[in-house]
Structure 1
Amino acid sequence: MKAKTQTYDIIAMTSSLICAIHCAAVPILLSFSSLSSLHFLHNPIIEWSFIGLGIVFVFISLWPSYKKAHHNSRPLLIAAVGFGIIALGRLDFSEAWETVNTVSGAILVSVAHFVNWKIMPSKADHKH
């Protein structure tokens, strides 16, 4: 189970970091008039796809790890806080509000997968 979960955690960490970079960089890139053709990157479909992908990885990585391996709720709590912050970012206060909350939340989701990856017991830890 560790190898499969580690693979999911690595993919999830990477996708969460890509989401954070995307959310931080797009407003900056769009502010330059010569890059206005990149406006398609600020697309709700892309944003919701990243959020959906993150939720899928919680259910295929963090939850099974918690139930079957380490019984440590810390990764789940970190991910829940991260998604909560992302949800707060969806409130339409300002572009900066959305960016800061979405980037912070995505980083927390990535941290949750990193913590999960670190606390997974290895085969060397298994004793008969």
Structure 2
Amino acid sequence: MKIKTPTFDIIALTSSLICAIHCAAVPIVLSFSSLSSLHFLHNPLIEWSFIGLGVVFVFVSLWPSYRKAHHRSRPLLIAAIGFGLIALGRLDLNEAWEIINTVGGALMVSVAHFVNWKLLRSSCKHKH
């Protein structure tokens, strides 16, 4: 069974949004003293897994869509900016810096997949 690129965009958009929610919510949840036992949620392995998953989805979804379907670089540029923000967040200057850049970057990657999905839908309509 072949999974089509728009399906990857929906999966990638969802995973990027989950990443943004995770990055925004974990520091807030951990700040409550009664929930401090949930510190395992602020695990670098989880964070790097989401980043790696995002990179995989860019290569599986955005790049083939660009090359084979719509030939527009906007989704790739938005994703690159998003990953750039995530990389800035990894500098770990302070907690607010990390949260703002990581959440912003994850949202940008989500937007890139949404834009790609919209471009694929419009290019499909023009081919018929």
TM value normalised by structure 1:
0.94
Which residue number in structure 1 is paired with residue 71 of structure 2?
A: 71
Which residue number in structure 2 is paired with residue 87 of structure 1?
A: 87
Which residue number in structure 2 is paired with residue 12 of structure 1?
A: 12
Q: How many residues align?
A: 124
Q: Which runs of 4+ in 1 moved over 6 A?
A: none
Question: What's the CA shift for 1:92?
Answer: 1.6
Q: Distance in 1 between matches of 2:47 and 2:23?
A: 8
Alignment of 1:12-31 (within 5 A): 12-31=12-31
- Write the letter of the residue equivalent to 1:60: V
Which residue number in structure 2 is paired with residue 98 of structure 1?
A: 98
Q: Distance in 2 between matches of 1:4 and 1:28?
A: 37
Which residue number in structure 1 is paired with residue 126 of structure 2?
A: 125
Which residue number in structure 1 is paired with residue 39 of structure 2?
A: 39
Which residue number in structure 1 is paired with residue 51 of structure 2?
A: 51
Alignment RMSD (CA, Å): 0.9
Question: What's the CA shift for 1:111?
Answer: 0.1
TM value normalised by structure 2:
0.94
Segments of 5+ residues of structure 2 without an aligned counterpart are none
Instruction: Give CA-to-partner distance per residue, 1:18-69, whole Å, 9 cap, x none.
Output: 0000000000000001111110000000000000000000000000000000
